[in-house]
A and B are shown apart, each in its own frame.
Chain A
Amino acid sequence: MGANLSRVHESNEDGPYPGLADIPENCIAGIFKHLSPIDICKLARLNRAFKGAASCDYVWEHKLPVCYQELLSELAISKPLSLSKKEIYALLCRPISLDNGTKEVWLDKATGGVCLSISARAMAITGIDDHRYWKWIPCDESRFHEVAYLQQLWWFEVDGTVKFQLPAGEYSLCFRVRLGKVSRKLGCRIYSFEQIHGWDVRPVRFSLSTSDGQQVVQECYLEKTGRIESNVPVSYARGNWTDIYVGEFRVKIENKLTEVKFSMTQIDCTHSKGGICLDSVSIIPSKLRKEAIKAF
């Protein structure tokens, strides 16, 4: 029941009282239950008792998501059973490649939330094989090292789907795009915006739906024609990677595969559009997205 109880026995209004240094490891583990994994790793340096508690399987079991065994099985580990729960957590914080490198999954370090990224390669893009319209460009700013670049097209349609055993909670889905092309000359990034057109004529339609009937549809312009004299379209997405927020969905039942379908379309054939880079779709716990926005 704890090694330092003699201190409680001695302590009264006159004697020394117990402090943080006197509580047993299982109580420190109880404190860690209310702290983030990052705080726990920092506190491992506090003293020996904290270091001991910071390695307890009991502490890290609560931080791992329910699907951690499935995630672990995606990594080719020779002796998975010999790993401590803390080691498993650390491993799963690094992106794990799925489906032949077209998807990645990882845990958010601070919260243990499961995050997914689906590359453009995993999506069905209309006209992707026609070099007049789309090209694959190597890109060091993409976690998949390449992006799909559209020169110009009338029928812009991107569809994708992902099936994963997500822990219960609310998740936000975003499309990661950039307007303009980037090339490198002598180690510098050169942006070219000449091919950007059509995004201020009609809005783009984004949608997501889940296998249990949740659905979100929203429309937005990727650019708005500015009121400046030059009448040049104004947008943040020119030259900058932008996460366009589509919406939220909720996972209620944990031990079940959640299927999410998503799309980005602009199929008004009276105008062409182009000059856009499509990188990926991200699905992250909504709490994380809200915190990132606050921080920004």
Chain B
Amino acid sequence: MASGSKVTLKSSDDEFFDVTEAVALECGAIKNMIEDIGISSPILLPHVSRKIRSKVIQYCKYHVESQKPGVSEDEIKSRDQEFVKVDQAMLFELILAANYVNNQKLLDLTCQIVADMIKGKTLEEIHNTFNIKNDFTPEEEEEIRHENQWAFE
């Protein structure tokens, strides 16, 4: 397979999109599918919408480009920081998509952003910021608090 070969991806809304093989191989799950069935048929990604797919491809593209000589680590870091300047909705969609297509670098980047948002917040603030419910009974919560007490002594 030549490095210039094209791979066709098909997203959940039935849209086809071509990328170079190098870009497609950035995602572990797509890489596995290519190894199994080759590149002659489209790779189906039923769980990724067109909007998210194009964002993920954008990420894969500049990471492939950054492997060329002359691109510094700082430049990649700076592009990564720009890439994740997105709203919460997009951020979590990217996490789910990165997990689905198995792009560890993108998953790591997006998880870091969420970790930074969580740091320094109380549990109540996290519940409010992320609209996430506490699904424990008071007894269960007390038990967890007790189990983890060692970390706060």
Contact = CB atoms under 8 A, between A and B. Distances in A.
Interface of A: 1-2, 4-5, 7-9, 11-13, 17-24, 26-27, 30-35, 37-39, 41-48, 51, 54, 90, 93, 109
A90 B100 CA distance: 33
Contact of B96 (A22, A31, A48): A22
Interface in B85-103: 88-89, 92-93, 95-97, 99-100
B150 A20 contact: no
A22 B130 CA distance: 11
Interface in B1-44: 12, 29
A41 B148 contact: yes
B76 interface: no
A8 B47 contact: yes
B114 to A, nearest CB: 5
A48 B135 CA distance: 7
A41 B150 CA distance: 9
A281 B145 CA distance: 35
A37 B150 CA distance: 11
A2 B99 contact: yes
B47 A45 contact: no
A251 to B, nearest CB: 25
A35 B100 contact: no
Contacts of A31: 111, 114-115, 118
Nearest to B96: A8
A110 to B, nearest CB: 9
A93 B118 contact: no
Contact of A19 (B132, B135, B141): B132
Interface of B is mostly: helix
Interface string B119-152: 1000100110011111110000100110110111
Of residues A22, A24, A31, which shows the largest number of chain B Cβ atoms within 10 Å of its Cβ?
A31
A4 to B, nearest CB: 7
A8 B45 CA distance: 12
B65 interface: no
B123 A8 contact: no
A24 B99 contact: yes
A115 to B, nearest CB: 16
Nearest to A90: B150
B84 interface: no
Nearest to A12: B49
A23 B123 CA distance: 18
A17 B89 contact: yes
Given A38-B152, A41-B148, A46-B127, A30 B107 contact: yes
Contacts of A48: 135-136
A217 B111 CA distance: 44
Given A38-B151, A47-B134, A22 B92 contact: yes
A31 B115 CA distance: 5
Given A20-B130, A23-B95, A34-B111, 13 more contacts: A4-B96, A12-B49, A12-B51, A21-B130, A30-B95, A31-B111, A35-B119, A38-B151, A41-B151, A42-B123, A43-B126, A47-B135, A51-B136
B112 interface: yes
Contacts of B119: 35, 39
A35 B115 CA distance: 6
Nearest to B120: A39
